[in-house]
Structure 1
Amino acid sequence: MSLQMLLAYSLITWLTAATPGPAVLLALRNGATRGFRAGLFSTLGNQLGLVLLAGASILGLGVILHTSAWLFTLVKWVGAAYLVYLGTRMLLARGGMELDSTDGGDAPPASDAQMLRLGLWVSLTNPKAILFFGALFPQFVLTDQALLPQFATLVSLSICASVSCLLTYVWLASRARHWLRRPRATLWINRVAGSVFIGFGVVLAGLRRTPA
C-alpha cells in the first residue's frame, strides 16, 4: 500500500471517529456518570466491534448482505431497534445521564464486562461504523496483494484513531462530570443524546441495499 493511500485512510478514519455519533455519546455518558475506567472499557468494547466489522468486510459478508434481501433486512432492523431502545431510555431518564438510574448521582456500579458488552453492541449497531466498513473500508483493500497484512495495517489505524478520539471524550466528560450532572444540563444532554441515538436508528432502518 502506498504512503498516500495510508495517509488518506488515516485522515478519513480519524475524522469518522471524531464525528459525534453513538460511540462518542456513549463515551461522554460513561465518562460523566461512571468515570474514566467505565469509559475505557466501553471504548475497548467498541474497538472489538470495529475489528469484527472489518473482519466481516474482508471475508465478504458485505457482499452477502448486498445480495441477500432477508439477511440485510434482519441485520438492519435489529440494529435500528437497539439504537432506538437506547435513545428512548435516555429520553425517559428523569435525572442523571445514566441509563440504569433515575437519580441525580453517579450511575450504579457496573462491571468492566458490562461496559465492554455495551460498547461492543453500540459499535456493531452504529450506522456510521457499518457504512464505513461496508462501503469505504473495502476501497482501500488491494485484492491482488496479501489480505492479512493489509487488514492488520488498516484495522490498527482505525483502532488508533478511534481510541484516541473516544478516550479524549471520556477524559473531558470525567473532568466535567459535576457540571454535566447538574439537573438542567443533564436534562438537555439526555434529550440531545437520546434524539441522536433514535435518529441514527431511523437512518439505519432507512438504509437500502445496493442493487447487485
Structure 2
Amino acid sequence: MMSWHLWLVTAPFLLLLALSPGPNNFTAMYNGMQVGPRKAVAAASGRNLAFMILMTVSALGLGAVIVSSMFWFNMVKWAGVVYLLYIGIKTWRSAAMTLDEHESENSVVSRGHFPRIRQEFMIAISNPKAILIFTAIFPQLLDLNSPVAPQFFVIGMTFILCEFIAAYIYAVSGKQIRRLIKSQKGMLRLNKGMGSLFVLASMLLASSSRS
C-alpha cells in the first residue's frame, strides 16, 4: 500500500492536474450555470466512470498500445474533436433562445441527470490525453519497491476524488457567473462564450500529439 508520506506529496499534484482547464471542467462550469453545483457534480460521475475505464485499460497495458499506435491514438483523438465541436456549435446556436425559453428548457433538462452524465462521459472517454496521464504520469508516482497494484488503485481513487472537487469548483464559479446574467443580451454572450470555449477545446485537441 502507498505510504502516507508519498500520498501527501502525490495528492496535491493530482488536484492541480484535475483543476487544469479542459473540456470536462468547461462542462462542469456550464452545468453549474444551468442547473447548479450539486447537479453539475453529480454529472461529473460520468467523467469519472470514463476515467476508471481508462485507468483499467492503462493498468492492463492496453493504454501503452493506444499511445504508441498512431492509428488508435488518432481514432480516439478525432472522435473527441468531433464531439467537442458538436457541443460547441450546439451551445452557440442555443444563444438564439430568449431568456424565458432558456429558463423553460432548464426546468425540463434539470429533471434528469443522465444527459449531463452521458456528456461528461463522452468527453472524457474520447480524450486520448487522459490515457497519456494514466499511462505516462501515474507510473512515475509509484514506489517500485512496494507492490504496484495497490498504489495504482490509491492514486486512481485519489484522482477520482480530485476530479469531483475540480467539478465542484468550476460549477460554483459557473453559478456565480450565472447570477450576473440578468438579461437576454447577457445570456446571448454567455452561450456564445461557452460555445467558443468548446470549439477552442476541439481545436486544441485536434492539434495535440502523442508527445
Name the TM tier (shorter chain).
0.7 to 0.9
Tell me which residue corresponds to 1:189. Answer: 190
Counterpart residue number, 2:78: 77
The change in CA–CA distance for 1:72 and 1:176 in structure 2 (over 3 A counts) is: closer
Evaluate the alpha carbon distance shift between residue 22 and residue 37 of structure 1 in structure 2; reply closer, same or farther with a 3 A threshold.
Answer: same
CA deviation string 1:149-200 (max 9, x = no partner): 1122101211221112212332443466443464333333323322222222
2:103 corresponds to which residue? 105
2:15 maps to 1:17:
no
The one-letter code sitting in structure 2 at the alignment partner of 1:159 is I
**Partner of residue 166, structure 1:** 167
In structure 1, the residue corresponding to 2:209 is in which secondary structure?
A: coil
Q: Secondary structure at the match of 2:102?
A: coil
Map 1:30-49 onto structure 2 (within 5 A): 30-49=31-50
Equivalent position SS for 1:94 = helix
**Aligned pair count?**
207
Instruction: Identify, as 1 or 2, the structure richer in helix.
Output: 2
CA contact (8 A) 1:105 1:181 kept: no
Give distance in 2, aligned partners of 1:102 and 1:64. Answer: 50
Long gaps (5+) in structure 1: none
Q: Name 1:54's counterpart in structure 2.
A: 55
| TM-score normalised by structure 1 residue count | 0.80
What is the alpha-carbon distance in structure 2 between the residues aligned to residue 172 and residue 200 of structure 1?
19
2: distance between equivalents of 1:180 and 1:157? 35
Q: Structure 2 length as normaliser, TM-score?
A: 0.81
Relative to structure 1, the CA distance from residue 186 to residue 13 in structure 2 (aligned partners, 3 Å threshold; closer, same or farther) is: farther
What SS class does the counterpart of residue 7 from structure 1 fall into?
helix
1:119-134 to 2 correspondences below 5 Å: 119-126=120-127, 129-134=130-135
CA displacement, residues 8-47 of structure 1 (integer Å, 9 cap, x when unaligned):
4222221122222212221122122123443132111122
Q: Which runs of 5+ in 2 are unaligned?
A: none
Q: 1:98-137: CA deviations, max 9, x gaps?
A: xxx9933152325222222122112223465344324322
Q: Residues 69, 176 of structure 1: CA spacing in aligned structure 2 closer, same or farther, 3 A cutoff? A: closer
Aligned-residue sequence identity (percent) comes to: 28
